[in-house]
Each structure stands twice: as structure tokens, then as C-alpha cells.
Amino acid sequence: MMAQLQQGGPDEKEKTTALKDLLSRIDLDELMKKDEPPLEFPDTLEGFEYIFNEKGQLRHIKTGEPFVFNYREDLHRWNQKRYEALGEIITKYIYELLQKECHLKRVTLPVDAIETEPKSFIFMSEDALVNPDKLLVLIHGNGVVRAGQWARRLIINEDLDSGTQIPYIKRAIEEGYGVIVLNPNENYIEVEKTKAQIQLSSDISDEPAEKRERKDEIRKETKKRRDFYEKYRNPQKEKETMQIYIRDNGSPEEHAIYVWDHFISQSAAEDVFFVAHSYGGLAFVELNCCNWVSSSEPLDTSVESMLPDCPRVSAGTERHELTSWKSFPSVFKFFSEAIKAKNSLVKPTPTRRSNRIKYEEF
């Protein structure tokens, strides 16, 4: 609209001047007060006025109502940030449950990490490496979930049983399994960039100086207009950060290999079982396994696949995030039948390969 006005005659120019004058007299500070609230949120469940009840459901302390995402209307970004802040608190809460209720220990990665370097961790039962019979390894999918979780959305909107790995862990311990809980999304730490780093990243260029100067001028003018708009639309400018990756654990695949090398392959268990949800299954898809997939078919019904991977059966639900929970009883039945079949054979059950999977193949 501004461009069109500028191309017109005297009347249009007067209108443009009047519009600029109006914009210059807008009190941005007053506008900001009416805009997005501060992105500052409580750091405890109680601060959010929520608690998990006896059924493992997240409920408001005062009203008893489920979590409400649209806490403030027409402020989607603020509501999303609030949701993410609550998610971080829940992650820590699940970690506490893994240690207090499931009696797992937290193990730092890399195993030889020095004090100053970024670190990750996994959770293990006390007998994970010495249990001579069987070991259960749990791997979640990608995204915001961390060790002990299947889906954050289920934890917040449904309950702890459907959204976490805790039922699997408790059942496994009851049946004499050792347990290892992987944490494949904990790949880096975020630190705030210094002014020097921000300037360096913007200065690096192989272009001729003259061309770079012209671009700088355009960039400055663009930034000026953008800052004017952002000061009104988004007064809370977020800090620039950089990611520092964790040694040998910089991706879910690297993490899985690292845990295999340093823990799973060193365990005394005769049988090792994996429950891997969504993306977590990619690392183990070529092993002898069964894939419970989202489907409208009844639980355990064979499901055809165009991919030449492991056998697929229905998880009894069309909701992807619920597949691990809905297939829960069938998974342990599968484990038991696999052990019986193995013990009944004269020759050991053939596996895909006896040596460790190489990184290129993983």
C-alpha cells in the first residue's frame, strides 16, 4: 500500500506524509503493554497450579479440570511457550519418577566425560549389566520427548500410563528383566551467543567488499523496518543461542550406537529385548523384531507393508502416539513366546549378524 501511494500524484504523497506522521506518534510502549504478556513461567507444577492425581492425570489444583492450552485467547505464541515450559517441568518430573518409583539409576554419558564438557545420560536398573537372563531396552521417538516418555501430548492430555514408559519398566522389573532406558534426543546443550559470535557469524562472507557493502546497506534498512514492526508485534526478543553437541551422542543414531557399545553389548543377559517407539525403531528395524503400527484393525492383526522390514501387526489404535501403550500386553507376550521358541530349538535362533552393527550401516 505504501509503495502504491508513493507512485501516485500530490494527493497520494500528502496521504503518505500524513500516514508517516501518524506512525511516528504511536506510543509503542503503550501498545506493548496491550500485546503479549512476558514469557516468564513457573518452574514447578505447583507454580502452574497443576498436579498429577491418583490416576496419573494432570489436573488443575483448584478446579480439577484438564490442562487448557488456550489459556489466553489470540496469543498462540505465548500459549505455546507456556506449554513448552510446562513440558520441561514434566520431563524433570518423569526423571524423578524413574529414580524414585522405578528405582533406576542415572548414568552420565560419555562415560569418560570431563567436568567441563556437555553431557547426556541414560537410566538403568541396578542389575542391567549383570542380570544373566534378560534385558529390556526402551527407546522413545524423536521430538521433545526425553528418557522415560512416549509422548508429551499423552502425558499432559491423557495420563502417565499412556504417555510414559513407566508401565513397561515396572512390568519388566516384576518379570525379572534388567532395564536400560535410552535418551536419544538429548544430543546437545544450548548456550547464549556472545556479541562477538553474533557479529562474526554475520561478517563471514567470500563476496567482494563492494557487493557486501551494498548488501549491508540493504540489510540495515530492512532490519530497521523489521525492528519497528517487531517492537510492536514481538517486544520480547528472544536471545540468540548456539548448540554444543555431546561427544559421541550428537544424534539419536550415535546415541544408540554408543549405548550399545558401552552397555548393552557388555551386559550378561542371555536375551536382550527392545521396545522402540516411532523414530527410535529405525536403529533396530533390521533385527528380528515385530512392529506394532497404527491401524484400524484389531490388536495383533497382520498388516501388510510395502517396505521389506520386520513383520507388522496392528496396535489396535489409529493414533500413532498411542501404539506403544495399546500394544503393551502383546509386547510382553511376544517376549515370552520368543524365549520359549528359542529354548525349544536345538540350534540357536539365527540373527541378522553376530558382529556389532557398523555406524555406516546403522
CA distance 225 to 218: 11
Q: Are 50 and 95 in contact (CB under 8 A)?
A: no
Tally the C-alpha atoms within 13 A of residue 200's C-alpha that lie toward its C-beta.
Answer: 5
CA distance 5 to 172: 72
Q: Are 244 and 237 in contact (CB under 8 A)?
A: no
End-to-end CA distance of the chain: 55
Q: Are 174 and 335 in contact (CB under 8 A)?
A: no
DSSP string, 47-91: TTTEEE-TTS-EEETTT-PPP-S-SSTT-HHHHHHHHHHHHHHHH
Parallel/antiparallel/unpaired status of strands 188-192 and 105-109: unpaired
Q: In sequence order, which residues have a C-beta less than 8 Å from that of residue 280 and are 6 or more positions away?
A: 139, 140, 141, 142, 182, 184, 252
Tally the C-alpha atoms within 13 A of residue 273's C-alpha that lie toward its C-beta.
Answer: 22
CA distance 182 to 191: 24
User: Which grid cell is 139?
Assistant: 527407546
CA distance 261 to 155: 31
Residue 303 Cα to chain centre, angstroms: 28
Among the listed residues 278, 295, 324, 327, the single catalytic one is: 278
278 is catalytic: yes
Residues with catalytic roles: 278
